[in-house]
Amino acid sequence: MARINILPKEALEKPAQAAYENHLEKGSLSNMKEALLQDYATYEAYMGWYTSFNRLLEIFGKKTAMIYAHSISTTNNCLLCSLFFINDLKALGLDPADLVLDEKEELLVELGRCIVIDPTSVSEEIFVKLRKHFSDKEIIAIVGFAGQMIATNNFNSVLQIDVDARLMPIINEFTPATWREK
């Protein structure tokens, strides 16, 4: 159960009501978005995630973008985000529990994990490898997205945003990260 109360659409700020309706029309009103709409300024800030994700799509396509986002979310132990990416990877015909990665995808998974676990110790070796595949501008977008993804993970985890009903059938496919355990 979420740690915050979700207000009905009628109790939201006018711009939040409009965004709520827009998401309903598109069929994309997730529990996270509904929670974010409780404070429209916060909602607007978090919707920047889509701008960052769209940039990843330009850089390396949907499959690799999903794999990168999945690696960040699962390493950060975000149940809700991880389930969204498990669902999305499965929709691409992939098995999230047994991904076959190319060199670039392995590098991005490693980068995502390192950024979550200890962003101050991302090695120079990783950056040497990144520069073989990406320009500085692209690296900025890739690292910037990781920050957006981590913020989203933290929002959902701290507030314990409820898992969306459509993800409940796959809830047991999430394996919690154990790197924080001592």
User: How far apart (Å, rounded) are the C-alpha atoms in residues 112 and 117?
Assistant: 9
User: How far apart (Å, rounded) are the C-alpha atoms in residues 10 and 104?
Assistant: 47
User: What's the pTM?
Assistant: 0.95
Return the closest-CA partner of residue 110 out of 123, 94, 99: 123
pLDDT in tens, 82-133: 999 999 999 999 999 999 999 999 999 999 999 999 999 999 999 999 999 9
Q: What is the pLDDT of residue 180?
A: 85
User: Which residue segments constitute the domains of the chain, with CATH numbers given?
Assistant: 47-173 (1.20.1290.10)
